[in-house]
Amino acid sequence: MPGDALLLLTHGSVRVTRMSVSGRERVMGDIYAPGIVGETAVLEGGERSATVRALEDVTALMLYRDHFDQILRRHPRVLWNLARLLARRVTLLNDELIALGQNTETALAHVLSSLYTQRVGAGLAQPQILPLNTQDIMNRISASRETVARVMRRLEQQKLVRTVGGTIHLLDPQRLDRLALESGDLD
Binding residues for its own copies, rule: CB under 8 A, are 18, 20-24, 26, 28, 39-40, 43-44, 46, 49-50, 72-73, 76, 79-80, 82-84, 86-91, 93-94, 96-98, 100-102, 141-144, 181-184, 186
Q: At its nearest, how many Å lie between its own copies and the CB of residue 131?
A: 21
Asked if residue 161 lies in contact with residue 152, where contact means CB atoms within 8 angstroms, the answer is: yes
- 3-state SS assignment for residue 186: coil
Q: Is the peptide bond before 127 cis (omega within 30 degrees of 0)?
A: no
Q: Is the CB of 93 or the CB of 162 nearer to its own copies?
A: 93
Q: At its nearest, how many Å lie between its own copies and the CB of residue 76?
A: 5
Q: Is the CB of 147 or the CB of 167 nearer to its own copies?
A: 147
Q: At its nearest, how many Å lie between its own copies and the CB of residue 61?
A: 20
User: How far apart (Å, rounded) are the C-alpha atoms in residues 28 and 13?
Assistant: 14
Single out the residue of 115, 116, 137 nearest to residue 128, CA to CA: 116
Q: Is the CB of 128 or the CB of 141 nearer to its own copies?
A: 141
Q: Is the CB of 110 or the CB of 128 nearer to its own copies?
A: 110
Q: How many residues are recorded in the chain? A: 187
DSSP class of 142:
T
Q: At its nearest, how many Å lie between its own copies and the CB of residue 38?
A: 11
Q: At its nearest, how many Å lie between its own copies and the CB of residue 5?
A: 15
Q: Is the CB of 98 or the CB of 122 nearer to its own copies?
A: 98
b (16+ CB within 10 A) / e for 68-106: beeeeeeeeeeeeeeeeeeeeeeeeeeebeebbebbbbb
Residue 59 carries which side chain, given as an amino acid letter?
Answer: T
